[in-house]
Amino acid sequence: MSVKLLLEKAHVEGIRSFDVYRREGGYRSVEKALKTMSPDAVTEEVKKSGLRGRGGAGFPSGLKWSFLAKPEGVPRHLVCNADESEPGTFKDRYLMEFIPHLLIEGLIVSSFALGSHATYIYIRGEYAWIPDILEQAIAEAKNNGFLGKNILGSGFDCEIYVQRGAGAYICGEETALIESLEGKRGNPRIKPPFPAVKGVWDRPTVVNNVETLAAVVPIINMGGEEYAKIGVGKSTGTKLISACGNINKPGVYEIDMTISVEEFIYSDEYCGGIPNGKRLKACIPGGSSVPILPANLLLKTAKGETRYMNYESLADGGFATGSMMGSGGFIILDEDQCVVKNTYTLARFYRHESCGQCSPCREGTGWMEKILKNIDTGKGKMSDIDLLWDIQRKIEGNTICPLGDAAAWPVAAAIRHFRDEFEWHVNNPQESQTRNFGLAHYADPIYVPA
């Protein structure tokens, strides 16, 4: 049985309202932090907790906070990145929709730690109904003295503003988000300077994911050291995983990062196995941009060790035989799924979402999509597979922001692990339109429940 820190109270009747949330122990961390701790002490607790950014990159949050420049007389800002656009990821939506006060509470404590008097939640446009939920939560918190001027008599002022995006994937990249927040075209900025030095309106800014900021609440409540005891190694605390695809129980699960991938997929507590007696073919373990893994490399690492649901274990073997924890968008593909079609769908997404600012990503994503479409529709050539490999190499690492990498990795991993399926598509243009390639040698051993 795993520990639940974020979603423990998510389904308490009426938890969206301030009164119920407060009755269930909410806003204790605000009281603790503002009344008994200094801002630096809060940052220190977050550092001790080993909390890593939950948006995808997994950068230690406490360290990120300590990079924040603090020049005299310049306001600083905290921005909550709620532009959750990664295909397969929907954990932040769940958190904001069911337990909005947890985010607000985390934001107040974090704003206090960073000295942000104006804090922003940048939320994607497609989450049309959530800003209302958040704004109501903010209003309630304000009415009860947890926001506004002189919070709880501590002398700390803070306001939280909700800003809606217009639904661009690129605005989840922190500098593009800042541009968009400022009302400009959402193009990523060229770094350096980093947001910690020049962010919103050229002021020092920290941009954190919704889940990261929510996790600050249990960290303050239980103490950083206690929090760090949950989980394993550098993967501390709990992580929300949004599981989808061919599983019996898609949804958002809070895990404590000690369970194995196999347990996560097949146990009834989590995904509940694959429906209709089908077998596992592949998995994208961290949102669409992380490398896809075939079943045989997913459950066990290349060294034959059990793979666990945490940052290190999922990345074991690098990109050659591993993947990434990413944002926790766990996508399962069963034996009936076509990897070529899947890769084409992802390539189409990245082509559509590329901001068009830098040339490798702008031109390369479109080219990859066209080639993949040809292969998928039975018009591909054998040389196209090598060409795809070459194009993704030219994009990866050469772009302004990580969108280029995010577009290149899925294509690279699909070719790396499923090259025979691509070749089969090229060699059997007609047959590939009527049936799927199936499992081939990369399938898992048939799962026998213990």
Binding site for other proteins (CB under 8 A): 168, 170, 185, 190, 351-360, 362-367, 370, 387, 391, 393-394, 397-400
Q: What CA–CA distance (Å, rounded) separates 286 from 326?
A: 4
- Cβ-based nearer residue to other proteins, 298 or 347: 347
Return the structure tokens found at 167: 């639904």
- Least CB distance from residue 394 to other proteins, whole Å? 3
- Least CB distance from residue 402 to other proteins, whole Å? 11
- Least CB distance from residue 364 to other proteins, whole Å? 5
- Cβ-based nearer residue to other proteins, 293 or 355: 355
- Least CB distance from residue 164 to other proteins, whole Å? 18
Q: What CA–CA distance (Å, rounded) separates 240 from 242?
A: 7
- Least CB distance from residue 357 to other proteins, whole Å? 5
- Least CB distance from residue 375 to other proteins, whole Å? 13
Q: Which of 416, 425, 429, 427 is nearest to 388 (CA)?
A: 416
Listing DSSP states for 403-427 in one string gives HHHHHHHHHHHHHHHHHHHHHHHHH
CB 282 within 8 A of CB 436: no
Element of type H or E holding 143: helix 130-143
- Least CB distance from residue 400 to other proteins, whole Å? 6
- Least CB distance from residue 87 to other proteins, whole Å? 16
- Least CB distance from residue 377 to other proteins, whole Å? 13
Q: What CA–CA distance (Å, rounded) separates 117 from 159?
A: 6
Instruction: For residue 331, list its beta bridge partners.
Output: 244, 284
Q: What CA–CA distance (Å, rounded) separates 418 from 441?
A: 10
Q: What CA–CA distance (Å, rounded) separates 173 from 81?
A: 9
Q: Which residues contact 194 (CB under 8 A, 6 or more apart)?
A: 67
- Cβ-based nearer residue to other proteins, 185 or 435: 185
Residue type, 86: E
Return the structure tokens found at 179: 């541009």
Listing DSSP states for 331-376 in one string gives EEEETT--HHHHHHHHHHHHHHH--S-SHHHHHHHHHHHHHHHHHH
- Cβ-based nearer residue to other proteins, 170 or 220: 170
Q: Which residues contact 36 (CB under 8 A, 6 or more apart)?
A: none
- Cβ-based nearer residue to other proteins, 25 or 356: 356
- Least CB distance from residue 187 to other proteins, whole Å? 8
Look up residue 9 and give its DSSP letter: T
Q: Are strands 239-245 and 251-255 parallel, antiparallel or unpaired?
A: antiparallel
Q: Which of 352, 424, 432, 428 is nearest to 368 (CA)?
A: 352
